[in-house]
Amino acid sequence: MSIYEKLRHIQLGLKAPKSQYNEFGNFFYRNCEDILFAVKPLLEEENCTIVISDELLLIGERYYVSATVELIDCETGEKVSNRSYAREEHSIKGMASSQITGSASTYARKYALNGLLCIDDSRDPDSADKSDADKPTSPLGKEELLNEFKREIKRTGKSYKYFLREAAANAIEELSEDFLNNALIMLRKCPDKKKGDA
């Protein structure tokens, strides 16, 4: 059996449920650990192993983590791989530089695994969803992002405190453009607040 046939069997047999829960957005999601936990029994069945490696790349003025996932046939040594990238933030309040790199690594590894194992996360809030709500109408600057963020908070009745806690920030002005863009994707999927809500 070739490595591609084994990969196909693993893809078809893999069940990686979304066991993590986000209370704010009221959605379930899967993380990298969930995928690895689910795939291990199938790797044993097919006598294969997975090796994940990271590489730090400087592209322009920004650093990216490149994560490569290799599926290796333990009998023949055949390999098939997939790669994904995640950009590091310049800084995140309350996080050391090693934590910022680790966060980007986790993100890149998850999507490298998704690609290799044929997992569709298109409905997850941190993915490139194809819905109109996720498509920016135009590139916004920091001030415009903040204004849109405030409007969405008012419309949905959500709390600023949640986002400040997630970003380890003391004020919304400290939120990065990347964080604001992701927050807006989440907020646009939330319904209007009910009448009578504070």
Write the pLDDT tens digit of every residue in 156-198.
Answer: 888 888 888 777 778 888 888 877 887 887 788 788 887 765 5
What pLDDT score was predicted for residue 177? Answer: 80
**Is residue 160 domain-shared with residue 86, that is, in the same domain?**
no
**Is residue 100 domain-shared with residue 14, that is, in the same domain?**
yes
Q: Is 194 inside any structural domain?
A: no
Q: Do 53 and 46 touch, CB atoms closer than 8 A?
A: no
Q: Is it the case that residue 129 has pLDDT exceeding 50?
A: no
Tell which wins on pLDDT, 132 or 90: 90
Q: Is it the case that residue 91 has pLDDT exceeding 70?
A: no
The last residue of a domain, from among 117, 150, 165: 117
Tell which wins on pLDDT, 127 or 48: 48
Give the chain's domain count. Answer: 2
**Arithmetic mean of pLDDT, 55-74:** 91
User: pTM of the entire structure?
Assistant: 0.58
Residue numbers of the domain that contains 83: 3-117
Question: Coil, strand, or helix at residue 82?
Answer: strand
Cα angle vertex 104, ends 99, 107, to 5°?
Answer: 125
Q: Is it the case that residue 123 has pLDDT exceeding 60?
A: no
**Is residue 46 domain-shared with residue 18, that is, in the same domain?**
yes
**Is residue 82 domain-shared with residue 13, that is, in the same domain?**
yes
